[in-house]
Structure 1
Amino acid sequence: MEQHFNVFKEVAETKNITLASKKLHMSQPSISLQIQNLENQYGARFFERTNKGVTLTREGEIFYTHVRSILNILKDAKEQICAISKDQRRLIFLGATLTIGEYILPNILALLYKTHPGVDFKVKIANTDSITQDILEKKMHIGLIEGPVPRYKELNVESFWEDELVVVIPYFHPWASRNSITLAELPLERLVTREEGSGTRKVMEIALRERGLDLSELNISMELGSTHAIKQVVSAGLGITIISSLTVRRECDLKIFKTLKIQDAPVYRPLSILTNANTTQTKDERRLTNLLHDRDLLSDIISMDFGELEDHASKLRFSQRSGK
């Protein structure tokens, strides 16, 4: 039956029995016979045949949707069974947007490599649209994105963290003795931002506009293409910025930066996990998502250096061996 489904899918997508026969290395009569058998079995006509090729009927379109789902499920099952039978190392294809990829993911992967060395990761850092498309097309197992989430019925979305955007100033700034500022004070300082079109910039602009601040009043003195570049400029005293609190944790501990909240108008954005709704997660993938949902553990991991991660991994390995 799987072969019949593959034949049907190829004909539906090429809209031509001759082309389908070449791709599948089958004779045209054999393909026509299998299509006819399917139509007889389900009591419906799936294709309209013309001199130019074939097109799906309404019944055929419904059947095509289900055939694609069935073939995807069978493909996933084969891959998982093959991996188990060959005792292969599990490879997880993982995507992340820039802030997550640069400031959260390295520590998470470092810990997982220590505690579960049989798992490999292939990581892609990209924008939200690219990661979403890869998840939908099953080119990627898990996507981690920041900010607004696209909505598709084939997409599972789980929030795992709420990231706060804060005002960041150098520690020698006159405001450094304070813990917050008002929206009205933002235009008084030179503002360094990400370039137009970046996720962080969009979240900042939407949030400030919703809180009644006219964006034209902002004194944007510099637009830069990376968070690292912004941090360098701000540390030199060339302006202030509004960026993720996650990205400046270490600099704040070292008293290079001071973060200020915006009074009565904090700005938060969700960090989310994307998975394909039609794919069953493996135990290794679930282990990663479970870690991300453990807020206390995740908070500890993010703030640790690699030496501390080594100690933490040793404790986790001991806990797993002892069954605690």
Structure 2
Amino acid sequence: MLHSQLVIFKVVAETKNISTAAKRLHMSQPAISLQIQSLENEVGVKLFERSNKGVRLTKAGEIFYQKVQDIIDKIHEAYELARDAGGESKGKLYIGATLTIGEYVLPKLLAYFYKLYPEIEMRVKIANTDTIYHELVEKTIDIGLIEGTIDDEELKVEKFWEDELVVVVPYHHIWGSKERLPVAELLKERIILREEGSGTRKVLEIALKELGLDLNDLNVTMEFSSTQAIKEVVAAGLGVTIISELTVRRDCDLKMFKKLSILEAPIRRPLSFVLTKSTAHEKQKQLFINLLRNNELVAKLISQDICDYVQPV
């Protein structure tokens, strides 16, 4: 319980807002407030000053915050030592990935990595960006692979690939003869999107604003947490979508869909890996990071089918 309260305290302190912290941690605002109150009662002093603009650390809270990160790291170090003492000394690597990366990129990377290091046991969690952020904060994963970026000074974010969001339509759609589409044309069609909290949606929303179009201006008729579900609905002729080019490469080759770039400016986004300051599984993390930083190899792996990926040298 104390560990969870410390994690909640850390996120509230960094976001300076109960509502934002609740969204990141997938908790209700009352639950966040209750945990903070319980922690303050335990410590015996007020840790936050509340106002209509949000919350800020008291002097005592600032001192407490300086130690909390070390405490969280020590707790997870204790977890690792206990697992080792229990006979689980085999190398482990816990990876979290957002849906697009988890479905279309990570399997190829893992297949190659396993060929090189079969002794390392890999565990993977696939979820949206908000959930991966939560897992990183709680240090239940070693590396997060996300679409876009995460704004947290306690996390290190580094790009390993660049993706493009493209307009995807059925192959025989009226736009099928185009290679690029003016952004204003999107107002004329029913739009199928990823759910709120996904990296794809966040990047799209920011890009549209830069092009002078608000996401609320679109005729969004359906939202899904599954890219495959979106593709099925588009294939059925129920609308068009804007999703990762990685997810439709093969479908376009098979002439199921046609992909179009935005005419005014292609919507590009980084695919990044995110690390905490925890030293858990440091050797295994570094080996996987070395793979991610090998841009030429990553490009080859992404472009090939999982069954015939590049063999380790």
Q: TM-score with structure 2 length normalisation?
A: 0.71
- How far the C-alpha of 1:92 sits from its partner, in A, is 0.8
Partner of 1:150: 151
Q: Using the alignment, how far apart are the partners of 2:108 and 2:75 within structure 1? A: 35
Partner of 2:298: 298
Partner of 2:106: 105
Partner of 2:199: 199
Judging changes above 3 Å, is the alpha-carbon distance between structure 1 residues 214 and 308 closer, same or farther for their aligned structure 2 residues?
same
Paired residue secondary structure (1:212) = coil
Paired residue secondary structure (2:221) = strand
Q: Deviations over 1:89-128 (max 9, x none)?
A: 2111111111111111111112222222111111112232
Q: Using the alignment, how far apart are the partners of 2:228 and 2:79 within structure 1? A: 43
- How far the C-alpha of 1:216 sits from its partner, in A, is 4.8
CA contact (8 A) 1:73 1:279 kept: no
Partner of 1:93: 94
- How far the C-alpha of 1:217 sits from its partner, in A, is 4.3
Deviates more, 1:277-286 or 1:71-80: 71-80
Paired residue secondary structure (1:174) = coil
The one-letter amino acid paired with 1:189 is E
CA contact (8 A) 1:193 1:201 kept: yes
CA contact (8 A) 1:93 1:140 kept: yes
Alignment of 1:1-324 (within 5 A): 55=44, 62=63, 65-66=66-67, 69=70, 72=73, 76=77, 79=80, 88-151=89-152, 153-279=153-279, 282-309=282-309, 312-313=310-311, 316=312, 319=313
- How far the C-alpha of 1:212 sits from its partner, in A, is 1.0
RMSD over equivalenced CA pairs, Å: 3.5
Judging changes above 3 Å, is the alpha-carbon distance between structure 1 residues 274 and 54 closer, same or farther for their aligned structure 2 residues?
closer
Deviates more, 1:105-114 or 1:188-197: 188-197
The one-letter amino acid paired with 2:230 is I
Deviates more, 1:283-292 or 1:196-205: 196-205
Q: Using the alignment, how far apart are the partners of 1:70 and 1:53 within structure 2? A: 16
Q: Using the alignment, how far apart are the partners of 1:147 and 1:73 within structure 2? A: 30
The percentage of counterpart residues that share the same residue type is: 50
Judging changes above 3 Å, is the alpha-carbon distance between structure 1 residues 112 and 53 closer, same or farther for their aligned structure 2 residues?
closer
Q: Using the alignment, how far apart are the partners of 1:182 and 1:99 within structure 2? A: 25
CA contact (8 A) 1:194 1:200 kept: yes
- How far the C-alpha of 1:196 sits from its partner, in A, is 4.2
- How far the C-alpha of 1:182 sits from its partner, in A, is 0.8
Q: Which has the larger radius of gyration?
A: 1
Partner of 2:25: none
Q: Using the alignment, how far apart are the partners of 1:258 and 1:176 within structure 2? A: 6
Q: Deviations over 1:134-155 (max 9, x none)?
A: 223322111111124121x321
Judging changes above 3 Å, is the alpha-carbon distance between structure 1 residues 293 and 81 closer, same or farther for their aligned structure 2 residues?
farther
CA contact (8 A) 1:169 1:240 kept: yes
Judging changes above 3 Å, is the alpha-carbon distance between structure 1 residues 60 and 229 closer, same or farther for their aligned structure 2 residues?
closer
Q: Using the alignment, how far apart are the partners of 1:60 and 1:215 within structure 2? A: 39
| Runs of 5+ unmatched residues, structure 2 | 7-40, 46-58
Q: Using the alignment, how far apart are the partners of 1:280 and 1:53 within structure 2? A: 29
The one-letter amino acid paired with 2:257 is F
Q: Using the alignment, how far apart are the partners of 1:263 and 1:133 within structure 2? A: 36
Q: Using the alignment, how far apart are the partners of 1:64 and 1:232 within structure 2? A: 47
Paired residue secondary structure (1:150) = coil
- How far the C-alpha of 1:253 sits from its partner, in A, is 2.1
The one-letter amino acid paired with 1:112 is F
Judging changes above 3 Å, is the alpha-carbon distance between structure 1 residues 71 and 295 closer, same or farther for their aligned structure 2 residues?
closer
Paired residue secondary structure (2:289) = helix
Deviates more, 1:273-282 or 1:71-80: 71-80
Judging changes above 3 Å, is the alpha-carbon distance between structure 1 residues 70 and 305 closer, same or farther for their aligned structure 2 residues?
same
Paired residue secondary structure (1:176) = coil
CA contact (8 A) 2:93 2:281 kept: no
> How many residues are aligned here?
264
